[in-house]
Amino acid sequence: MTLMLSIPTLPQNRRIPERFSRDGENISPPLEWRGAPEGTRGYALIVEDPDAPKGTFRHWAAYNIPAGAQGLPEGAGSDEADATLRMALNDFGNRRYDGPQPPPGHGRHHYHFRLFALDTPQLPVPTNGAAQDVLKVARDHALAEADLVGTFER
């Protein structure tokens, strides 16, 4: 079985609903996954925009997600998130989910929700770690990766 990631409110390559953007409620969408490979001991999630004017921009990095999890509820990326969900600094400088906010008139941006099934329950990310740090370490421990793309344009 292949690791599959889905957002019930977002079909692949469709527009991310406004409420999940910084122009809306700026809350993380609900996520569901299945098909974790044998030996999965945890998960990490990265949300990034490779279409940003100055290069890839990371909107969220959550890690040390328990192996038994099959998703994250809507709003899990808020500041008040469950203490078991560790979050690194995103490129806005916040330790939470920050939704799409591309420059007006810059065209359609593609937001990649990347889920990593890991061979470890905890990633060695520094306390002040950034999303890029989580991505680097997650790649080193990845058993599988799922990628779901949503779009947004202002």
**DSSP-assigned states of every residue in 14-34:** EEPPGGGSTTTT--PPPEEEE
- For 38-69, the pLDDT digits (tens) are 999 999 999 999 999 999 999 999 999 999 99
Phi, psi of 43 (to 5 degrees): -135, 160
pLDDT score of 100: 98
CB 122 within 8 A of CB 141: no
CB atoms within 10 A of CB 70: 10
Name the residue range of residue 111's domain: 4-152
What is the distance between the alpha carbons of residues 148 and 140, in angstroms, rounded to a whole number?
Answer: 20
H or E element that contains 116: strand 109-118
What is the distance between the alpha carbons of residues 130 and 91, in angstroms, rounded to a whole number?
Answer: 8
CB 3 within 8 A of CB 146: yes
Residues paired with 107 in a beta bridge: none
Grade residue 10 by pLDDT with cuts at 50, 70 and 90. Answer: confident
Specify the number of domains making up the chain. 1
pLDDT score of 149: 96
- For 74-108, the pLDDT digits (tens) are 999 986 555 558 999 999 999 999 999 999 999 99
- For 116-133, the pLDDT digits (tens) are 999 999 999 998 999 999
Cβ neighbours of residue 34 under 8 Å, at least 6 residues apart? 1, 3, 4, 70
Give the CATH number for residue 111: 3.90.280.10
- Helix residue ranges, H only, 16-129: none
pLDDT score of 83: 55
3-class DSSP state of 138 = helix
CB atoms within 10 A of CB 80: 8
pLDDT > 70 in the chain, percent = 95
